[in-house]
Structure 1
Amino acid sequence: MKVEARIFDLVTAFCFFIAIVYGVTTYYWSGYGVEPVGLVSLILTGGLALIAGSYMRFISRRIEPRPEDREDAEISDGAGEMGFFSPGSYWPIGMAASVATAGLAMAFFHIWLIVIAGVLILITVGGLVFEYHTGPNHE
């Protein structure tokens, strides 16, 4: 988790640095002062990356080091089963379509379409979660 924490630290530093550069350049070049929307979004993006990086750093202290975190690790240390990944699931496509529908519904503020998209999101998330669920074993 230390590798991921470092990545988020770099994103945090980049966002805060660019927020300063953005604030200064818009103040001097726009003629209207600092452009607030871009500045606030950059600061909030840096803050979100800081939260995620802090969480990963906090977790990395409490778990044993993974091969990615150790300097003396060999490639073979990371070998083995990584988990189960569905070979051909259509649920992510349906979920993406339902979330896109929800986004368009909110952009145009059609309440009826927001409700339909919300139901579709619940159905597709449920389908993805329970795709391989076979139920309890009754013997």
Structure 2
Amino acid sequence: MRVETKLFLYLFVFFVPVTLIYGFWSKWSEPIGVTALILTALLFALSGFYLYATGKKLPLRPEDNASGEIEDAEGNYGYFVASSWTPLWLAGSAAVMFAGLAIGWWLFIIGAVFAIVAVCLWVFESFSGEYSI
């Protein structure tokens, strides 16, 4: 996880001066932007520290080995359903739910019912039908 750790810590190092520049530019009179940038920098620092602490406990991955070959990372990545229409129905339900936030709660509730059905179908689609395990 060395690459991810470096990415988050570099972003922390980037956002600290950006916060200072923004603060001096706005003469520290705009507290929301400064607070948002401070919290963004702290979020990247927290994520980077977590990845660093976790990476010390785990063995070196093939991606972290500079002299590693492509064959080092081969193997089973898990089981994935070949094709599924269920995420499309879930995305449509989410769109109806978000539209319901603007239009009315009745539309949100209709979208939520369809979303619950779509999530249940997506979870259990590997247990029946053509792609059952």
Q: TM-score, normalised by structure 2?
A: 0.72
Q: CA separation in 1, counterparts of 2:96 and 2:17?
A: 35
Q: Give the 3 Å change call, closer, same or farther, for CA 70–47 of structure 1 in structure 2.
A: same
Q: CA separation in 2, counterparts of 1:94 and 1:15?
A: 39
Gaps of 5+ in 2: 129-133
For residues 34-49 of structure 1, the aligned pairs below 5 Å read 34-49=29-44
Name the amino acid aligned to 2:24: V
Q: Does 1:124 pair with 2:112?
A: no
Q: How many residues align?
A: 128
Match of 2:70 among 66, 75, 94: 75
Secondary structure of the equivalent of 1:127? helix
Name the amino acid aligned to 1:130: F
Gaps of 5+ in 1: 28-32, 135-139
Q: Give the 3 Å change call, closer, same or farther, for CA 71–103 of structure 1 in structure 2.
A: same
Q: Which residue of 2 aligns with 1:137?
A: none
Q: Which residue of 2 aligns with 1:9?
A: 9
Normalized per residue, which structure has more helix? Answer: 2
Once the two structures are superposed, what CA deviation does each residue of 1:51-80 show, in whole Å capped at 9, x if it has no partner?
332222222122211101223322221123
Secondary structure of the equivalent of 1:89? coil
Q: Give the 3 Å change call, closer, same or farther, for CA 122–15 of structure 1 in structure 2.
A: farther
Match of 1:111 among 89, 105, 128: 105
RCO (CA 8 Å, sep 6+): is it higher in 1 or 2?
Answer: 1
Q: CA separation in 2, counterparts of 1:39 and 1:101?
A: 35
Q: CA separation in 2, counterparts of 1:4 and 1:70?
A: 14
Q: CA RMSD in A?
A: 2.6
Match of 1:93 among 85, 88, 93: 88
Secondary structure of the equivalent of 1:56? helix
Secondary structure of the equivalent of 1:132? helix
Once the two structures are superposed, what CA deviation does each residue of 1:22-43 show, in whole Å capped at 9, x if it has no partner?
222223xxxxx53333332222
